[in-house]
Amino acid sequence: KEGGGCLIATAAYGSEMAPQVQFLREIRDNKVMSTESGASFMSGFNEFYYSFSPAIADYERENPVFKEVVKLGITPLVSSLAILDYANSEEEILGYGISLIILNVGMYIAAPAVLIYKTRKFVKI
């Protein structure tokens, strides 16, 4: 679905015209897709993303609390992508892209896992 919609962000922010959604589209179309490695990444990402995003976006539209939780959850991710504005070459897109993946895996997976582990150890659940 090259050039497809940012379904989860559109549902979270309420419109395809929301500044955050426009920003995601601009980064994708003007930065990431302008490089070979970025286009290759997007191809794989889109296959994964569109396998679950329609269901999440539908649930966001049905459940306002879930919509707000998703919005709160994706805002740091969206903000972190601003660094791609400074990428002007294949190498920079690749370097920043890998760094962003590591940052976001740390922020969304590693940090919560460590927190849960430490809390369980402290509370002795």
**Is residue 1 included in any domain, yes or no?**
no
Which pLDDT does position 57 carry in this prediction? Answer: 98
pLDDT above 70 covers a percentage of the chain that reads 96
CA distance 56 to 7: 8
**Is residue 115 included in any domain, yes or no?**
yes
Residue 51's alpha-carbon distances to 20, 29, 54, 55, in angstroms, are 22, 21, 8, 9
Quick one: residue 34, left, alpha or beta (phi over 0 = left, psi -120 to 50 = alpha)? Answer: alpha
**Is residue 2 included in any domain, yes or no?**
no
In the chain, how many domains are there?
Answer: 1
Does the pTM of the predicted model rise above 0.85?
no
Domain that includes residue 52, residue range:
7-123
**Is residue 71 included in any domain, yes or no?**
yes
Range in 2-6, 26-30, 62-66 the model is least confident about: 2-6
